[in-house]
């Protein structure tokens, strides 16, 4: 079984060696898809997947995600990016090109509840999460031994109301300059605007409620008091507005009048795990584009 997994991983790594992903956001207009496709063809690239979406063909925003193979990608990518700048300027694009073989590095923040962290570690260990978990940071020591059993560095940085600024500074020092995404896996602290600015649209939070309903604390108690028939969870990017950032993924499950608050929490934990794992995977695979306070997710 282990040999089979390693062979699959090796084959996938070889396939990804010359593969890249292009993300594009720009005002809609004629010729965008044709121009991008021709550009890649003329530069020797082969498109293996392409998705696009327009908010409104008559003056709305256009979004595109393209996966392509390019021989000797590492060598040829700088020239391709330089040449593509003219296309980007022509259509007023915001664009990025990412090498698939360069996996995104994740820092996971967690407090005491472990279910979302455990789910991500399972996906990572199985090779299903196309990213590298570089570290776990927590304001409690509860998860240290479990995290370190995976060979992942664990950093305990306590946070109090009086030390929040100093704690965030320590977190930034630990993270350094090579972390691509921060995942708040039930990290029960509010992130400051200064910290958010360092990682704009690169902090994903799981909110234990189907936003925009039941924002803030104790959402399951709020849901129980309202007698809801479905509960859910929401993964979103973190912004200065509490629980108000662009939504990446949501899911729900039906409940009944016989479910008490503890039952709602139990059911909700399962939803939270699945929703957060999906959102992190989609970000890692460059499937999410942010426009204002919304996302376009090519999944």
Q: Residues near 48 by Cβ (< 8 Å), separated by ≥ 6?
A: 19, 67, 68, 69
Pairing of strands 19-27, 94-99: antiparallel
What are phi and psi for residue 149, nearest 5 degrees? Answer: -65, -20
Inter-residue contact 103 to 137 (CB < 8 Å): no
DSSP code of residue 246:
P
Task: Give CA–CA dist 208/202, Å, rounded.
Answer: 19
Considering 243, 251, 259, 286, which one is annotated as catalytic? Answer: 243
DSSP code string of 77-122: HHHHHHHHHHHHHHHT-EEEEEETTSPEEEEEEE-S--HHHHHHHH
Q: Residues near 246 by Cβ (< 8 Å), separated by ≥ 6?
A: 201, 236, 237, 239, 290, 292, 293, 294, 295
Q: Tokens 């299903």, residue?
A: 128
Q: Edge-to-edge, what's the strand order for the sheet holding 104-110? A: 154-156, 131-138, 104-110, 181-184, 203-207, 230-237, 247-254
Q: Angle at CA 14, nearest 5°, toward 288 and 136?
A: 50
Residue 51 appears among annotated catalytic residues? no
Closest CA to 155 of 187, 130, 180: 187
Catalytic residues: 243
């Amino acid at each position: 079984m282990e040999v089979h997994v390693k062979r699959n991983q090796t084959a996938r790594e070889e396939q990804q060696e010359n593969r890249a992903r292009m993300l594009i956001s720009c005002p809609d207009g004629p010729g965008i898809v044709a121009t991008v496709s021709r550009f890649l063809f003329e530069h020797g690239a082969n498109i293996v997947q392409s998705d696009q979406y327009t908010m409104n063909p008559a003056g709305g925003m256009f979004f595109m995600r393209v996966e392509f193979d390019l021989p000797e990608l590492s060598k040829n990518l700088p020239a391709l990016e330089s040449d593509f700048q003219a296309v980007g300027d022509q259509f007023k694009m915001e664009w990025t090109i990412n090498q698939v073989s360069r996996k995104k590095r994740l820092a996971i923040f967690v407090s005491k509840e472990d279910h979302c962290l455990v789910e991500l570690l399972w996906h990572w260990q199985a090779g299903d999460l196309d990213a590298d978990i570089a570290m776990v940071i927590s304001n409690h020591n509860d998860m240290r031994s479990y995290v370190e059993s995976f060979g992942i560095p664990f950093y305990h940085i306590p946070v109090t109301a009086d030390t929040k600024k100093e704690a965030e500074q320590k977190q930034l020092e630990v993270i350094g300059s090579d972390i691509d995404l921060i995942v708040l896996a039930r990290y029960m602290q509010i992130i400051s605007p200064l910290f958010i600015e360092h990682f704009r649209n690169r902090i994903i939070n799981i909110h234990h409620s189907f936003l925009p309903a039941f924002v803030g604390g104790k959402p399951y108690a709020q849901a129980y008091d309202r007698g809801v028939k479905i509960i859910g969870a929401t993964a979103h990017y973190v912004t200065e507005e509490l629980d108000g950032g662009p939504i990446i993924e949501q899911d729900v499950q039906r409940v009944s009048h016989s479910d008490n608050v503890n039952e709602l929490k139990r059911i909700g934990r399962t939803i939270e795990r699945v929703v957060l794992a999906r959102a992190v995977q989609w970000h890692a695979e460059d499937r999410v584009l942010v426009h204002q306070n919304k996302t376009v997710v090519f999944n």
